[in-house]
Structure 1
């Protein structure tokens, strides 16, 4: 059981957790690997509207990863199994690398330290941050579900808007950090979704209608906040090859994918990916491969049935 204290390293009760931890360590990266000289040249040559667009994204991105890291703390404290704690700790450590990575982007582009609180000036980013930073749930399962949705949905508007520059041949250092972070987050979501399904199997008494309803409500709220942020970021500037409504629809698509990973049915019915180039640029990443999975691969006992929430 997840809440039983491990007294020795082996035998492993949850070898899958150790596999996720090892994958996390295998794809470890550091900020010094990324060259940002060309990004600074691109930024200096950009229009004022494009500069503001990039600033609006980066102002909340570092803070979002800060919040994601903090969401791991109560989860790690509640888990007593050694290898599962190891998986969560590895995932949390990567979030510090992400913070450093996006801070590196900010500093390479010449933004001052005061810039890290600029998100507080705008309603859309303030509301997004407030929701990410707080939780009302006491259930481990609901706290874990919220963390999965935050990591697997709340970051993806920014991922798309920055990743689009790779198609334009601009900000390639930024795109590299973005790609590596996306790869990490996709692994974290898969590992945490596995943990969620395992927890549900071990705690069937908690998987009731109220539990499922709370997850659907979180998914809808997180999706709405991310779509509001997209509207804010793209209010005065739309990059070439990017359509605001397509990005917002993509967030619904991603939210449905996360619900499927949790063993629930989709809420938005955005099964078809409105931005297929995201998968193409990821070169068959784990995220892209997940989209090829059958829905039944992610259904678990206690989480199947007809849901109308």
Structure 2
């Protein structure tokens, strides 16, 4: 993700305001990595177990399939220095849409569903609490990318033809199937309140949302089967009887007079 932000998006999105946001996004992605690395160290203290987790992209077919999907779309424009032709701009647009709609907007949302399923069962509250902030950031990253797509649509509407709609639709269908392969591995015969069928319905619902945001027709017509995902945009308030509160500012001591010189 960091490579795509720095080597592709920052290079070709030349608005100063947009580049300022991309710089912030890069920092936030680094914070996310550090957060999950800290959790990994906590959950898997044995170095061999951690090494196996890092090697999952090579050793677990479902994860490898998702990685290959990402690299296939993101690497397609890495060596283009300037978007001089219509075909170059179309390839960049597909890269951006894949990054926002499929990686941040679908693969990540699948991961969020697993995390919030644990929360709904009263498990892994630390993981869920940190993921609340990651969810907030990734939602903003996705919306920023879609705003860039909106700008491209205004400047070059001819790029948004039937062929682009077909490519984006096929891309999201492929992303749903890739994430579903991972869901089959994770859910097995089914978990309480989550199974492969419900994950498929959820992923299809999310994919339709991305297509609608991009101005394309939805293709699945599925509904969100997970009631616990409705909590994802709700600000968490600490239960003081359960744990130490950390989301509130300590009162500032002293006094301020408004006629003082500053």
TM range (shorter): 0.7 to 0.9
Residue of structure 2 aligned with 1:217, choices 157, 170, 173: 170
Aligned position for 1:148: 100
Q: Deviations over 1:179-210 (max 9, x none)?
A: 21111111111111111111111112322222
Q: Which structure 1 segments of 5+ residues have no match? A: 1-67, 286-309
Give the Cα separation in 1 of the matches to 2:230 and 2:184.
23
Residue of structure 1 aligned with 2:216, choices 242, 264, 269: 264
Residue of structure 2 aligned with 1:172, choices 125, 150, 170: 125
Residue of structure 2 aligned with 1:96, choices 30, 46, 51: 30
Contact 2:188 2:195 in 1 (8 A): no
Aligned position for 1:194: 147
Once the two structures are TM-superposed, the CA of residue 111 in structure 1 deviates from its matched residue by 4.8
TM-score, with structure 1 as normaliser: 0.65
RMSD of aligned alpha carbons:
1.9
Select the structure of larger CA radius of gyration: 2
Contact 1:246 1:274 in 2 (8 A): yes
Name the SS for the 1:155 alignment partner.
helix
1:120 counterpart = 2:58? yes
Using CA pairs below 8 Å that are at least 6 residues apart, which structure has the higher relative contact order?
A: 1
Contact 1:128 1:226 in 2 (8 A): yes
After superposition, residues 241-280 of structure 1 pair within 5 angstroms as: 241-270=193-222, 272-280=223-231
1:129 counterpart = 2:67? yes
Once the two structures are TM-superposed, the CA of residue 245 in structure 1 deviates from its matched residue by 1.6
Aligned position for 2:21: 87
Q: Deviations over 1:231-251 (max 9, x none)?
A: 111226x44332332122111
Give the Cα separation in 2 of the matches to 1:268 and 1:197.
23
Once the two structures are TM-superposed, the CA of residue 281 in structure 1 deviates from its matched residue by 4.5
Give the Cα separation in 1 of the matches to 2:209 and 2:145.
14
Aligned position for 1:65: none
Q: How many residues align?
A: 216
Give the Cα separation in 1 of the matches to 2:46 and 2:219.
39
After superposition, residues 226-305 of structure 1 pair within 5 angstroms as: 226-235=179-188, 238-270=190-222, 272-283=223-234
Give the Cα separation in 1 of the matches to 2:5 and 2:210.
18
Q: Deviations over 1:5-48 (max 9, x none)?
A: xxxxxxxxxxxxxxxxxxxxxxxxxxxxxxxxxxxxxxxxxxxx
TM-score, with structure 2 as normaliser: 0.76
Once the two structures are TM-superposed, the CA of residue 152 in structure 1 deviates from its matched residue by 0.3
Contact 1:166 1:175 in 2 (8 A): yes
